[in-house]
Structure formats: structure tokens, C-alpha cells
Amino acid sequence: MGSTESELYFVFLNYDPEYERLRSDRTTRGSHELDLYLSRKHDVLLAKTLEPGSYKKTLSLVIVDGFAVEITDDQANVLRSAEEVRIVEKNQELA
């Protein structure tokens, strides 16, 4: 059984053609649409995978389709099993 203490994890998602299409639009409008799309997409994944109020998404990444979230080890394992998820990695601070 994993730790019950929340730690920062980075979650990267599988290939998404809509992400690629929006990312290729270099206009201000395209950038805004991409931000909204990713934030909403990441929020939906978390809401359908984890219990409400048990996690804290800290940011959505745009350069890659991913996000940072404060979760437990057990929650990280649950996210790893989600179809949309490519990889889940715990943040490692360098000394």
C-alpha cells in the first residue's frame, strides 16, 4: 500500500490529434483555445479518475500534453491505469 501523503506528480498523456491540431495554430486565438482545451481535458480526466477534493492540480503544460498534480502514491497508480495516460512520474528535486 502506498503513502497517504500527497506529493507532486507529472502526468503525461497519450497522442491526441486535437491537441496537435490546436498546437499547430500559432495565433493568439489558437493559443487561448489550446490552453482552454488542455485545462478542461486534464480536469475531466482527474474528475473521472480520482475522488473529488482528494487532489490538487497545480498546472497544465502546453508544450507537452500533461499536467502537474498533488496526489498520493495510490492515486498515482490509479492514474497510471487510465487509458489516456502515457506516464505518471513523481517530481524529484535536485539537491
As assigned by CATH, the class of the 7-90 domain is alpha beta
pLDDT of 95 higher than 90: no
**Mean pLDDT value of segment 1-28:** 91
pLDDT confidence of residue 49: 97
Domain boundaries, the chain: 7-90
Other Cβ atoms within 10 Å of 69 Cβ, number: 25
pLDDT-derived band at 94 (thresholds 50, 70, 90) equals confident
pLDDT of 26 higher than 90: no
In the beta sheet, which residues pair with residue 59?
68
pLDDT of 1 higher than 60: no
In tens, the pLDDT along 30-81 reads 999 999 999 999 999 999 999 999 999 999 999 999 999 999 999 999 999 9
